[in-house]
């Protein structure tokens, strides 16, 4: 997010003090994300976005979700205490923005591609590509892409990533070639952090059992390389349990994720806005 915009966004949030909640009660906002080529990240622990978004936004947000699409465009929403009347009025007033009339109306930054508005109280919608398209896909004409069971699992963790036929995958501290990433049909990665250490779990649906085995071997070799670089002795029995292929699905159960790795993934998804 362009740094010039932060002071005005902070002022807007300070001046709007009424309590609001996400308008999405029977389903998750991010369930309308995840079309082919998309990488979706939803963050329940919004402190992971510290330094990317102002503290005043993070403090008011219960959840922040964003899509990185196949073209590198980013859109999403912050759910929480964001009032329709107050935020939109202040965006309209702010010289850093200009109002774009229409249905929906929105506000475009004069110095960047950032676009934002509150389409209804409880949701601050943003985009770096097309606010009207983001509004249609996730609000007005939304259809659910992520099934209820998967969405509930994602929402129960500090942060989660959903991938649908990605061209590449986010940096999780391992070198995974794009060619291998393109063999992923769908994937769910789940992150938790207890303040000292992090945990990565999830599953990847590959295009074949052979691809699942290949990716499992690649990930284990990446871990093994790091262990040897640190001069440590590898425990091959433990390593084999971190990445377990079962047919064309690869299951992940890895306790070695650092918080800064999760923060970097979260920031990559929001930092281009």
Q: How would you classify the pairing of strands 184-193 and 106-109?
A: unpaired
Share of the chain above pLDDT 70, in %: 80
Tell me which of 99, 114, 143 is where a domain ends.
143
Confidence of residue 121 (pLDDT cuts 50, 70, 90): very high
Statement to judge: residues 7 and 132 lie in one domain:
yes
C-beta of residue 184 within 8 angstroms of C-beta of residue 54: no
Statement to judge: residues 170 and 138 lie in one domain:
no
Report d(CA 62, CA 78) in Å as an integer: 8
Statement to judge: residues 176 and 120 lie in one domain:
no
Q: What is the DSSP string of 14-54?
A: HH-------S--SS-GGGG---TT-EEEEESSGGGGBTTB-
Which residues constitute the domain of residue 91? 3-36+45-143
Tell me which of 92, 113, 143 is where a domain ends.
143
Query: In this predicted structure, what is the pLDDT of residue 120?
Result: 94
Statement to judge: residues 199 and 69 lie in one domain:
no
- Establish if 135 belongs to a structural domain: yes
Statement to judge: residues 230 and 247 lie in one domain:
yes
Number of domains in the chain: 2
Tell me which of 126, 143, 160 is where a domain ends.
143
**DSSP structural state of residue 36:** T
- Establish if 155 belongs to a structural domain: yes
Query: In this predicted structure, what is the pLDDT of residue 107?
Result: 94
Statement to judge: residues 132 and 8 lie in one domain:
yes
Q: How would you classify the pairing of strands 184-193 and 198-206?
A: antiparallel
Statement to judge: residues 152 and 247 lie in one domain:
yes
Statement to judge: residues 162 and 116 lie in one domain:
no
Statement to judge: residues 138 and 167 lie in one domain:
no
Sign of CA dihedral 19, 24, 27, 31: negative
Residue in this structure with the two tokens 């063999």, named with its chain if needed: 183
Structure confidence by residue, pLDDT tens digits, 131-183: 999 999 999 999 999 999 999 999 999 889 999 988 776 655 566 788 888 89
- Establish if 27 belongs to a structural domain: yes
CB atoms < 10 A from the CB of 37, how many? 15
Say what the pTM is.
0.84
C-beta of residue 147 within 8 angstroms of C-beta of residue 134: no
- pLDDT surpasses 80 at 263: no
Query: In this predicted structure, what is the pLDDT of residue 3?
Result: 47
Contact partners, residue 265, CB within 8 Å, separation at least 6: 41, 159, 161, 170, 171, 172, 191
Q: Which of 41-45, 110-114, 234-238 has the lowest mean pLDDT?
A: 234-238
Q: Which strands sit side by side in the sheet containing 61-68, from one edge to the other?
A: 97-100, 106-109, 115-120, 123-127, 74-80, 61-68, 39-43, 159-164, 184-193, 198-206, 249-257, 243-246
Report d(CA 21, CA 264) in Å as an integer: 27
- Establish if 18 belongs to a structural domain: yes
Statement to judge: residues 255 and 133 lie in one domain:
no
Statement to judge: residues 137 and 165 lie in one domain:
no
- Establish if 273 belongs to a structural domain: no
Q: Is 133 helix (H, G, I), strand (E, B) or coil?
A: helix
Statement to judge: residues 92 and 193 lie in one domain:
no
Beta bridge partners of 64: 43, 78
């Amino acid at each position: 997010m362009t740094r010039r915009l932060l002071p005005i966004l902070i002022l807007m949030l300070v001046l709007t003090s009424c309590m609001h909640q996400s308008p999405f009660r029977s389903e998750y906002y991010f369930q309308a994300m995840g079309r082919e080529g998309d990488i979706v990240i939803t963050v329940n622990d919004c402190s992971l976005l510290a330094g990317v978004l102002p503290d005043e936004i993070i403090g008011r947000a219960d959840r922040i979700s964003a899509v990185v699409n196949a073209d590198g465009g980013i859109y999403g929403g912050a759910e929480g205490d964001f009032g329709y009347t107050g935020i939109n009025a202040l965006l309209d007033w702010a010289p850093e923005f200009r109002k774009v009339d229409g249905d929906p109306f929105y506000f475009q930054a004069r110095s960047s591609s950032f676009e934002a508005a509150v389409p209804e109280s409880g949701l601050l919608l943003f985009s770096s590509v097309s606010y009207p398209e983001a509004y249609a896909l996730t609000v007005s004409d939304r259809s659910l892409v992520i099934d209820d069971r998967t969405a509930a699992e994602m929402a129960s963790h500090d942060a989660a990533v959903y991938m649908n036929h990605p061209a590449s995958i986010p940096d999780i501290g391992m070198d995974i070639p794009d060619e291998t990433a393109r063999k992923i049909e769908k994937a769910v990665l789940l992150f938790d952090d207890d303040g000292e250490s992090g945990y990565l779990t999830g599953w990847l649906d590959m295009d074949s059992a052979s691809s699942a085995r290949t990716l499992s071997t690649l990930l284990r070799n990446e871990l093994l390389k790091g262990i040897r670089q640190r001069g440590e002795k590898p425990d091959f029995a433990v390593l084999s349990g971190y990445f377990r292929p079962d047919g064309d699905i690869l299951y992940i159960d890895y306790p070695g994720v650092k918080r800064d790795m999760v923060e970097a993934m979260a920031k990559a998804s929001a930092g281009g806005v």
